Chains A and B, each alone.
Chain A
Amino acid sequence: MGVSSSSDAELIHRYRRGDVAAFEVLVGRYTRLAGAIAYNVLGDYAAAADAVQEAFLKVHESAADLREPERFKSWLYGVVRTCALDAVRRRRRRPATSLTALDGAENEVVDAGLSEPAAGLERQEVERAVLDAVRELPESYREVVVLKYLDERSYKEIAEILGITIETIESRLFRARRLLKTKLAQYAGAPGADE
Chain B
Amino acid sequence: MSEKDGVMPQACRDIRDVLSRHLDGECRPEEAARVRAHVARCAGCRAELDRLGRVDRLVRTAVAGHPFGPALAARVCARVAAARAGGEGRTAAPASGPVRPGTAGASPNVIRLPALRRLIPYAAAAAVLVAGLLALRQLDRVGGQGPSIGVARLGAVVAPSGAAVRVRRAGVLTSVVPGQAVELRAGDEVVVAPGAPGAEVRLDDGSHVTLDGGTVVALAGATAGRISVGLDEGRLVARVAPRSAGRAFAVRTADASVEVVGTVFGVHTVPGEGTRVAVLEGRVLCARGAESIVLSAGEAATVRPASALAARAADARAELAWALGSRKPAPVPAAGVPPPAPRPSPAAGPRPQPPAGSGGGDLPIGAPGDDR
Contact = CB atoms under 8 A, between A and B. Distances in A.
Contacts of B54: 187-189
Interface residues of A, number: 73
Contact of A58 (B16, B59, B68, B108): B108
Interface stretch (B98-106, B146-154, B314-322, B364-372): B98-106
A1 B21 CA distance: 35
Contacts of A39: 66, 68
A134 B62 CA distance: 10
A23 B80 contact: yes
Contacts of B8: 195
Interface in A46-99: 46, 48-50, 52-53, 56-58, 60-62, 64-68, 71-72, 74-79, 81-82
A154 B27 CA distance: 12
A101 interface: no
Contacts of B90: 57, 61
Contacts of A68: 100-101
B27 to A, nearest CB: 10
Q: Which of the four size classes fits the interface of chain B? A: 35 or more
A12 B254 CA distance: 22
Contacts of B72: 31, 35, 49, 52-53
B52 interface: yes
Interface in B155-172: 164, 171-172
B292 interface: yes
Interface in B42-100: 50-52, 54-56, 58-63, 66-70, 72-73, 75-77, 79-81, 83-84, 88, 90-94, 96-100
A180 B101 contact: no
Contacts of B94: 61-62, 64-65
9 contacts: A31-B73, A34-B68, A49-B68, A61-B93, A127-B62, A145-B59, A148-B24, A150-B66, A189-B50
Give 3 nearest A-B pairs by CB, closest first.
A35-B68, A5-B290, A78-B104
